[in-house]
Copies of this chain bind each other. A is one copy, B any other.
Amino acid sequence: MTAGTSETGTADPFGRLQRRNGVEFAVADLEFAAFGRQEIRLAEHEMPGLMQLRREYAEARPLHGARIAGSLHMTVQTAVLIETLVSLGAQVRWVSCNIFSTQDEAASAVVVGPHGTPQEPRGVPVFAWKGETLPEYWWCTERLFSFTDGEGNVVGPNMILDDGGDATLLVHKGVEYETAGVVPTVADDDHTVSEEARVVLDTLRRSLAADPQRWTRVAKEIRGVSEETTTGVNRLYQLAEQGKLLFPAINVNDSVTKSKFDNKYGIRHSLIDGLNRATDVLIGGKVAVVCGFGDVGKGSAEALAGQGARVIVTEIDPICALQALLEGFQVAQLDEVIGKADIVITTTGNKDIVTVEHMAAMKHQVILGNVGHFDNEIDMAGLARHPGIHRITIKPQVDEWVFPDGHSIIVLSEGRLLNLGNATGHPSFVMSTSFSNQVIAQIELFTRHEEYNRDVYRLSKVLDEKVARIHVQALGGELTKLSKDQAEYIDVDVEGPYKPEHYRY
């Protein structure tokens, strides 16, 4: 029995799976590929980091032999990432890491590939469409792990590229339950277990029944994972602390060229894009409350102020609060200013930032949205339960919630990330900085995995600087060269890195 016999081609509970020209996929419609291809072509121009890596490794193809399982929003930008991995020699399979975030034309274009047609696709297996159910989502994620080797055998990946950690989670939980020999059962009325957790348990229960060693075999093959986000990184650090991490991990999130660019400059762009597409309301002259002044909050405040809004910041962290004050923003508690706000944006990554009490106290037709993390940052569940509340959907992702007293508020994207829900997320250029780190991390882990332990690593500063350098050039910036003499004077190498590890930028 080969590695893959447990994975049968017939497992298609949702009737979504297709195979054409030898390519397996589950996307909305391959006919969208042509438009997707146009978008990919334009995005390539805005992603100089990825294109430079393609040129740099065109001959070496360092990912030859890599089988990468990717779980990351299936957008146009991700399509450029996927095709970069392929051009570096990798075999790739892909799913989205969020049920709403797939751009269907991008998914289709990736399946078709740059040289294929909808009739004769030549691209990458993708299992993702906009608006999946939770069971569909986890079915897609499971498909991620069924590569085919040269002889047509089903084999697992040897690399994971993750955003939020769901692919990594499935492997770790799979191994845990296979080791225990059983998947825990949960009582139907146990409210401490979320719906999603039940779906994962069901998925693994079926898997265990079909092949009691599948995930154990899969895990052994994996050389490492590179992880994109804070949430996923936190999971990895916890696993490493507990000694349960099954393979090395690179924390891409904390590269400077990720966290200080994607988070700040990405949101500066996409926040107002989302607000404008959703509401067409003049931002200038409005009172905008930004909850949180981390990198995302900083980008949000700058964007709103740049459009002429008066920005008020709420913060728990006195250091960030002092930064906000010295940038000229009022720092206040939400309770105190809620009655003045015209726009309220959450950026914290925490929960219950805007409560139903806040919403009840807002002015008529306040615009409320989140760019922080989950939809519990704004208490959407509480809002829906509010006695006498009435919801009017103005258009997709724009809801007016009318309170019994007659005043209403405009909630964007049901409290989920409005820059993705009401616009198209971060633009290509900032994603190019983030994704270049991903590619570099994949090369690093795949080619030098023996030098890494089962721990969480960050990319070296010199790689961070390399990513930055490519993007500086793309924007026409001219870097100054350090002389040997100057380099010695400040005790660095002429080629960098130029700063100590704890430098804050």
**Interfacial residues, chain A to chain B (CB-CB below 8 A):** 35, 38-39, 42, 45-46, 234, 254, 256-257, 259-261, 265-266, 268-269, 272-273, 276-277, 279-287, 295, 302-303, 305-311, 314-334, 336, 340, 349-352, 364-365, 392, 394-395, 400, 410, 423-424, 427-430, 433, 464-466, 468-469, 471-472, 475-483, 485-486, 489-491, 496, 498-499, 502, 504-505
Contact = CB atoms under 8 A, between A and B. Distances in A.
Which of A318, A334, A340 has its CB near the most chain B CB atoms (within 10 A)?
A318
Contacts of A279: 42
Contacts of A320: 505
B327 A308 contact: yes
Could you tell me the dominant secondary structure of chain A's interface residues?
Answer: mixed
14 contacts: A42-B365, A46-B282, A254-B502, A259-B504, A285-B325, A308-B326, A310-B325, A316-B479, A316-B498, A317-B499, A318-B496, A321-B472, A332-B478, A352-B483
B321 A468 contact: yes
Nearest to A499: B317
Contacts of A480: 314-316, 333-334
Contacts of A310: 325, 328-330
B490 A350 contact: yes
Contacts of A464: 319
Contacts of A268: 284, 307-308
B502 A323 contact: no
B479 A38 contact: no
- Most B C-beta atoms less than 10 A away, residue of A256, A324, A331, A480: A480
B284 A328 contact: yes
Given A287-B476, A314-B480, A327-B308, A322 B429 contact: no
B45 A364 contact: yes
B281 A427 contact: yes
Given A38-B392, A269-B307, A504-B504, A479 B283 contact: no
Contacts of A261: 322, 326
A325 to B, nearest CB: 4
A256 B332 contact: no
Contacts of A276: 269, 272-273, 276-277, 423
Given A319-B464, A322-B471, A323-B505, 13 more contacts: A42-B279, A42-B410, A256-B319, A260-B323, A261-B322, A303-B306, A306-B306, A310-B330, A318-B471, A319-B505, A322-B477, A330-B477, A350-B482
Nearest to A260: B504
Contact of A284 (B265, B282, B308): B265
B317 A257 contact: no
Contact of A477 (B307, B331, B485): B331
Nearest to A311: B328
A282 B265 contact: yes
Contacts of A306: 302-303, 305-307
B328 A465 contact: no
Contact of A352 (B35, B410, B486): B486
Given A280-B424, A284-B268, A45 B365 contact: yes
Most B CB atoms within 10 A — which of A295, A340, A502? Answer: A502
| Of A254, A302, A305, A321, most B-chain CB atoms within 10 Å | A321
Nearest to A483: B352
A284 B314 contact: no
A430 B323 CA distance: 12
Closest 9 CB pairs of A and B: A306-B306, A331-B477, A318-B468, A282-B427, A318-B469, A282-B429, A317-B498, A273-B276, A319-B468
B472 A318 contact: yes
Contact of A325 (B307, B472, B491): B472
A422 B333 CA distance: 38
Contacts of A471: 318, 322
A432 B430 CA distance: 37
A353 to B, nearest CB: 8
Contact of A478 (B35, B282, B323, B331): B331
A396 B285 CA distance: 32
A351 B486 contact: yes
Contact of A46 (B272, B281, B311): B281
A302 B327 CA distance: 10
Nearest to A273: B276
